[in-house]
Structure 1
Amino acid sequence: MQQATVDELTHIQRLWPSFEQLVGLRGRKMYAQIDERQNTYTVCTPVKEHDSPDRLGLQLGTLAGGWYLRGRLVGDPPQIYGRIADGVAELQATLPADDTRPLVEFYRRRDQIELWVPIRS
């Protein structure tokens, strides 16, 4: 299940709380996809057995497959969120990114975020 907005901080800060309220956090894996070409930021979580995406007004989608260069940020919210852009930039400087696929943030735990930069295979 997913919900998208413009890739701008104020929009992102409004999207996360409303999405979390709709789907709940307990037992959820939470992701975000950032499509730099389309300037979109999409929050998403896998569909569970009793979920009703249509009833919640959410779309269905799939994380893009392929190879990713991964990095991990560790720290307490909200400070950890301010480190995401620099972490992505550091990963992008390492290898040529595949700009046909979105960047991914995987919110592993409250204090851990994995950053996935798609790379060409």
Structure 2
Amino acid sequence: MEILFKILVVLHFVGLASLLGGFLVQMSTKPRGINNAMLHGVLTQVVTGIAIVGIISADLLEDETVDNSKIGVKLLIALFVLGAVLLGRRKPADEQQPYWAAAGALTLVNVIVAVFV
């Protein structure tokens, strides 16, 4: 189970890289908007995050515990990012900037929560 856990953690980081990379690449474009990298990144983050917490919560790994408060906050933020990405994709390109900005800012907040809380 440990190898599956590590694979999921790597995929979780890949999702973060895709989401943040997609956000950052849009900084130099006009109009700024949601791209496929952001969509695939946030979906990867949510799915792998839930799987990682499930493995730890099921006591399938030794010496690993879950801080449910932290995970709840991170999941809520991730769902808001997912909502911003999905809603932004439904808008015309010139109206996506607020959704793009919200997705990027909330992603950075989620990283801060992961590291400092």
TM-score by length of 2: 0.29
Choose between structure 1 and 2: higher helix proportion.
2
Task: Give the number of the structure whose alpha-carbon radius of gyration is greater.
Answer: 2
Choose between structure 1 and 2: higher strand proportion.
1
TM-score by length of 1: 0.28
